Amino acid sequence: MKRVLFLVLFVCGICPLFAQDEAAILLDLKKSRADYENAKQKYENDTRLFNEKAISENDFNQSRNNLLSREVDYQKLILKLISQQSYVIIERAVKYQTNKGERRVKITLKSTLEGNEEYLNQFREHFDVFTPEMRSGKVYNVFVSIVDLADQTIIGSPYEYRIPAIELGQEATADFDLLKDADNLKVVLTYGGRKDEKSIYLKKDASTHVIDVNSLQFSQEADLSSQATYGLTLERFSTSDDVYRLMVAGLPQQISYEFTDGASKVSQIKYAQGVNTKNLSLRVFLPDRDDEEVQIDKPIQFYVLTFTNDQFIRLSAMDEKSLTPEALAALSCGNEMLELIPRGKGKIEVRATNLYHEISSGDSVRMDVTVRNAGTRRLDNIKVTTDNPLGWKTVITPDLIRSLDPEKEEVVTVSIFPPRDAGVGAQEVKIKTEALADNRKVDTEDKTVRIQVNAETSVAGTILLVLLLGAFIAGIVWFGIRLSKR
């Protein structure tokens, strides 16, 4: 029995300085084994007596049932002792990416009770008390799930992965589709009536040797003469310390770009030890005018590429038109397809030859105003209005311009009528314009017309004054002639 106890200690890796509860189980195991041996001996004796009809069938059945009960008790204690040892470990946890861009996690598990088979071989004479599971040395029905550390939700598909059995000393894998991107997570193992949880940092799959590029703002709209900014996340799936180049392919020459990490422009990146993710920005600058390659409302698709020096040499020999998704996949470089939609911008220019007028009381002002589309998108429903002083009226012809193409202009006549009793002095009339471009309101600049109203002059008084002035001049001439004759 001492040898039995020593070998049980060996299989479980138990040292003499055992915890108090484990020591109690060992003592119970020793007692249970003794009870089992006694019950087995009694059953063998009762079997012989029953065959000789020395005992009743009832006594024989009680002896057999007692043996079965002692055997079950002994098995339960052995399983309980073994179950307290962590004999399924997480060998590896690797995050990788498929050719379709799907992020996955592969968990590799291993059974570590490699000495159990050696232990069982020394107890062949006692195999009658071991279950088939204990004889095979397998760990059955291992359930694996991956959990987010922040909110404790399952982020792997399938939600729970079942491994039917793991041989002693052998490995088994659980492969998950990562529903939420994460670099560290919790692995939950459930087997043999126990639950084991471990928080781990995921390794990157070094076999792909690629920088994955991802942008949440993959499609953007931007007005001509403006810029669009794409936020980029670059994640390394490699253990190499190579320097990676950044490039954009597929943009027309009229559109320039730059990569920035905040304040500085970058064209190459390198990852420090333990760092696998970088965040950059791509800024794309649009030209002032559209043309055959940059057309308003027509999407432009282009690629952001990351590659090593070796990949750059192969990429240099390729034409940009041949950079299809299949060609990029064969090149094994990081890439992300982005989209840019140029938008035109409406802009109105209002010009007038003269914005200052002088009139007499009772007169009116008639002026021409030129409305020009100085933007890059057609203007619709252009309306010219005025903001008048109290009692003043205006007539605008035409009162509505249905549409106006870029660089086109149209003349609008504005007639301003002061009231008959308008006081003498200066007044201001504001000319306002309203328009839509792509169903968006266009910002406009008001023009101010300053009108000076003077008092009305009397016609009769003016004629009388002219006649008096003429008579005075004639008198002076006549008097001068008379003096000359003397």
Please write the tens of the pLDDT for every residue from 415-464: 999 988 777 888 999 999 999 988 888 888 889 999 988 876 656 666 77
pTM of this structure: 0.56
Q: Are 398 and 372 in contact (CB under 8 A)?
A: no
User: Could you say which DSSP state residue 259 is in?
Assistant: E
CA distance 421 to 462: 22
Q: Which amino acid is at 268?
A: Q
The pLDDT of residue 311 is: 72
CA distance 387 to 430: 5
CA distance 212 to 278: 10
Angstrom CA distances, 288 to 254, 293, 296, 374, 376, stand at 9, 13, 12, 11, 8
25: left (phi over 0), alpha (psi -120 to 50) or beta: alpha
The three-state DSSP-derived secondary structure of 133-190 is HHHHCCEEEEEEEEECCCCCCECEECCCEEEEEECECCEEEEEEEECCCCCEEEEEEE
The pLDDT of residue 1 is: 38
Angstrom CA distances, 163 to 171, 190, 193, stand at 11, 10, 15
Q: Is 452 helix (H, G, I), strand (E, B) or coil?
A: strand
Q: Which amino acid is at 413?
A: T
The pLDDT of residue 6 is: 36
Strands of 354-400, DSSP E: 356-360, 365-373, 379-387, 393-397
Residue 414: how many CB atoms within 10 A of its CB?
Answer: 21
pLDDT reading at 254 higher than 50: yes
Lowest mean pLDDT among 45-54, 88-97, 108-117, 334-343: 108-117
Q: Are 246 and 304 in contact (CB under 8 A)?
A: yes
User: Could you say which DSSP state residue 320 is in?
Assistant: G
The pLDDT of residue 331 is: 66
CA distance 106 to 111: 17
Q: pLDDT higher for 467 or 315?
A: 467
Give the rounded percent of residues in the chain with a pLDDT score beyond 90: 27
Q: Are 209 and 237 in contact (CB under 8 A)?
A: yes
Q: Which of 325, 323, 374 is nearest to 348 (CA)?
A: 374
Q: pLDDT higher for 16 or 284?
A: 284
Average pLDDT over residues 129-140: 63
The three-state DSSP-derived secondary structure of 392-439 is CEEEEECCCEEEECCCCEEEEEEEEECCCCCCCEEEEEEEEEEEEECC
Please write the tens of the pLDDT for every residue from 366-382: 999 999 998 888 899 99
CB neighbours of 204 closer than 8 A, spacing ≥ 6?
A: 94, 95, 96, 236, 237, 238, 239, 276
The pLDDT of residue 421 is: 78
The two structure tokens encoding residue 244: 């990676």
Please write the tens of the pLDDT for every residue from 147-196: 999 999 999 999 999 999 888 778 999 999 999 888 889 999 998 778 88
CA distance 138 to 372: 85
Residues in the chain: 486
The pLDDT of residue 162 is: 94
CA distance 404 to 435: 10
CA distance 352 to 434: 17
Average pLDDT over residues 326-344: 80
Average pLDDT over residues 256-275: 85
The pLDDT of residue 49 is: 87
pLDDT reading at 343 higher than 50: yes
pLDDT reading at 79 higher than 90: no
Q: pLDDT higher for 124 or 415?
A: 415
pLDDT reading at 4 higher than 60: no
The two structure tokens encoding residue 472: 């005075």
pLDDT reading at 12 higher than 50: no
Angstrom CA distances, 221 to 40, 69, 175, 340, stand at 85, 78, 39, 6
The pLDDT of residue 15 is: 39
Average pLDDT over residues 242-259: 88
Please write the tens of the pLDDT for every residue from 286-324: 998 888 889 888 999 998 988 877 777 766 666 666 666
CA distance 48 to 180: 68
Dihedral sign of CA atoms 474, 477, 482, 485 in order: negative
Please write the tens of the pLDDT for every residue from 199-228: 998 887 765 567 788 888 889 999 888 999
pLDDT reading at 129 higher than 80: no
The pLDDT of residue 18 is: 37
The pLDDT of residue 397 is: 92
